[in-house]
Amino acid sequence: MKNILFISPTGTLDNGAEISIFNLQKVLVKQGYHVINVTQASGDIPYITAFESAGIKNFMLDAVKWWWEDAPGPVQGTQRELYHYYREHIASIQHIVEDEKIDLIITNSVNMFQGAVVAAIEGIPHFWLIHEFPEDEFSYYVDKLDFVNEFSTEIFAVQGRLQEKLQEIIHNRKIHSFYPFTKISDTPLSVGEKTRIVSVGRLTERKNQLELLEAYSKLNRPEIELILIGNFDKEYKQKVVKFIDEKAFKNVTLVGPQDNPWSLITDKDIFVSSSKMETFGLVYVEALLHGVPSIVSNNPGHLSANDIFDFGKFYEIGNTDQLVNLLADSLKNFDTQKKESLSVLTELRKAYSVGKAYQEIMDFIERDFDKKSNSIRHLSKLLMLNDHNPDKLTARIKRIIKTILIKTRILR
C-alpha cells in the first residue's frame, strides 16, 4: 500500500476542508494506507488528539504564514522571516517525504504551495484538492492556476459549481471531483420545548450573519430565540454585537465555538445559513442529515449540495424580505416541515457516504504513476546550506526560494 502525505491548511477542525479530508484520511488508514499529515503549528489540542486517535502521524510546522504570501491572512512576521519559514517548510517536508518513503503528496487546499514544490523536487505524484472559489478574498489564486495546472498530477475540485468554474479556466485537462464528507452522529437531537432559529458557523463577513440578524429584526417576533453557534473573527463579531445592542434584542445568543454544535440543536429548531459564499455548504448538509428544517442562501456551494440532496428552502442572497417570508412560513408550519424533513432522512443519508464523496480521489490513489526526474532537484540541496551571518543567510534564502518559486512558476 502507498505512503501518502497530506498538506493541510489550518491545523484546526473548525472548517470544512479540514473536517472533510480528515474523514478521507481515516478511511485510507482503515484500507491499509500509511497516511502522514503536515500542517502549521496551530496549538489546537482537539486537532492533535483527533489525529493521534486516528493513528495518523501529524507534523505541525512553525510558520509566520503557511499559505501563499498574497493569500488571505496577515504575515505574522517580517519579510525576512517569511522567506526563512518558506525555506524551512520545503526542507522539512522533503525530510518527511524521504524518511516516510512517501509515494504521493496531496495538498488539501489551493492556498499552500509547499507540497507541490517538494513533489516536483522529489519527482513524485502530486494531487491538488481545491475547496475555494476563485472569487473575493480567494480571487488571488487565479494567477496561480498556471502553476497549479503544471505541478499537479491530478486536480480535484468540489463537485458542482466550483468544478465547473475551474474547468472553464483550465482547458487542457479534466478537473476531477469530490464532495466534502462529515460523519453524522446517530444520536438523536435533544427534545426542545419551543421552536428557535439557529445558525452554525464562524462569525465572518463571508458567513454573513448580519443578514440573518436584519431579517430577524424585520420578522418582529422578539419571543423567538435566535442562536448563533461558532467561533468568530474579532472585527465581525464586534459588528454583530453592535447590531444586537442597537436593536436591543433580548433573545439573541452568541454561543461561541463548540466541539459538537449539533448537541445544542433540538428537534424544534429551524436552521438558517445566510452565507455569501460556500464551496459545498457542509453545515447545510449536516442540518439536512439531522432532519432539521433548513433555509439557506442561494450561494454556489449550497446549490451544489442541493444537486445531490434536492431538499431545503432557498432565498436570494441580499433579499432579506424573502428570508423573512420563509422564516415566517417555517414558524407557522413548523410541524409539517419537520415531518417532511424526517420523511426523507433515510434517503438523504443513503445518498451521502464517504465512498461516494471521494470515489474519484480513491480511484486515482490506487493507480501507478511514473516517477519523474526534475530539473530543480539540485536546488533542494541549497536549502540545506547554513550560514551564521544573518544578513548573508537571509539573502541566500531569498535567492534560493525565489529561484525555486520562479522555476516552478509560483512567482511570475
Domain residues of the chain, as ranges?
3-181+357-407, 196-352
Is residue 380 predicted with pLDDT exceeding 90? no
The Cα 177–Cα 173 span in angstroms is: 13
pLDDT category of residue 352 using cuts at 50, 70 and 90: confident
What pLDDT, on a 0 to 100 scale, did the predictor assign at position 391? 53
Is residue 200 predicted with pLDDT exceeding 60? yes
Is residue 224 predicted with pLDDT exceeding 60? yes
Mean pLDDT calculated for residue range 192-210 = 94
The answer to whether the Cα torsion of 47, 49, 55, 58 is positive or negative is: positive
Among 172-181, 205-214, 300-309, 318-327, the range scoring the smallest mean pLDDT is 300-309
Place of cell 423573512: 324
- Model confidence pLDDT, tens digit, residues 141-156: 999 998 899 889 999 9
What pLDDT, on a 0 to 100 scale, did the predictor assign at position 132? 92
CATH superfamily of the domain spanning 3-181+357-407: Glycogen Phosphorylase B; (3.40.50.2000)
Mean pLDDT calculated for residue range 28-50 = 96
User: CA-CA-CA-CA torsion for 89, 94, 96, 100, nearest 10 degrees?
Assistant: 160
What pLDDT, on a 0 to 100 scale, did the predictor assign at position 361? 96
Mean pLDDT calculated for residue range 401-411 = 53
What pLDDT, on a 0 to 100 scale, did the predictor assign at position 308? 85
Element (H, E) at 200: strand 196-200
Cell numbers linked to 279? 464551496
Is residue 131 predicted with pLDDT exceeding 80? yes
Same fold, 3-181+357-407 and 196-352: yes
Which of 35, 181, 183, 164 shows the shortest CA–CA distance to 105? Answer: 35
pLDDT category of residue 368 using cuts at 50, 70 and 90: confident
- Burial class (CB within 10 angstroms; exposed 0-12, middle 13-18, buried 19+) of 393: middle
pLDDT category of residue 121 using cuts at 50, 70 and 90: confident
Walk across the sheet containing 34-40 and list its strands: 57-61, 34-40, 3-7, 104-107, 126-130, 154-158, 176-178
CA distances from 137 to 33, 71, 75, 205 (A): 35, 8, 15, 11
What pLDDT, on a 0 to 100 scale, did the predictor assign at position 381? 47
Cell numbers linked to 359? 470515489
Mean pLDDT calculated for residue range 269-279 = 93
Within 13 Å, how many C-alpha atoms sit on residue 235's CB side?
Answer: 2
SS3 assignment, position 381: helix
pLDDT category of residue 351 using cuts at 50, 70 and 90: confident
What pLDDT, on a 0 to 100 scale, did the predictor assign at position 409? 47
The Cα 279–Cα 138 span in angstroms is: 12
The Cα 404–Cα 255 span in angstroms is: 46
The Cα 155–Cα 110 span in angstroms is: 10
Is residue 281 predicted with pLDDT exceeding 70? yes
What pLDDT, on a 0 to 100 scale, did the predictor assign at position 404? 58
> What is the b/e burial string over 204-218, where b = at least 16 CB atoms within 10 angstroms of the residue's CB?
bebbbbbbbbbbbbe
- Amino acid present at 189: L
Higher pLDDT, residue 381 or 145: 145
Among 15-24, 42-51, 128-137, 401-410, the range scoring the smallest mean pLDDT is 401-410
The Cα 267–Cα 235 span in angstroms is: 33
Reported CATH class of domain 196-352:
alpha beta
The Cα 230–Cα 1 span in angstroms is: 39
The Cα 136–Cα 154 span in angstroms is: 25
Highest mean pLDDT among 83-92, 99-108, 308-317: 99-108
Cβ neighbours of residue 407 under 8 Å, at least 6 residues apart? 375, 376, 379
Q: How far apart are the first and last CA of the chain?
A: 38
Is residue 6 predicted with pLDDT exceeding 90? yes
Cα 384 from chain centroid (whole Å): 32
Within 13 Å, how many C-alpha atoms sit on residue 315's CB side?
Answer: 23
Average pLDDT over all residues of the chain: 89
Is residue 126 predicted with pLDDT exceeding 50? yes
Which of 328, 227, 348 shows the shortest CA–CA distance to 287? Answer: 348
What pLDDT, on a 0 to 100 scale, did the predictor assign at position 27? 94
Q: CB of 400 within 8 A of CB of 87?
A: yes
Q: What percent of the chain has pLDDT over 70?
A: 90
Which of 34, 39, 29 shows the shortest CA–CA distance to 7? Answer: 39
- Residues in the chain, overall count: 412
Within 13 Å, how many C-alpha atoms sit on residue 107's CB side?
Answer: 26
Cα 39 from chain centroid (whole Å): 13
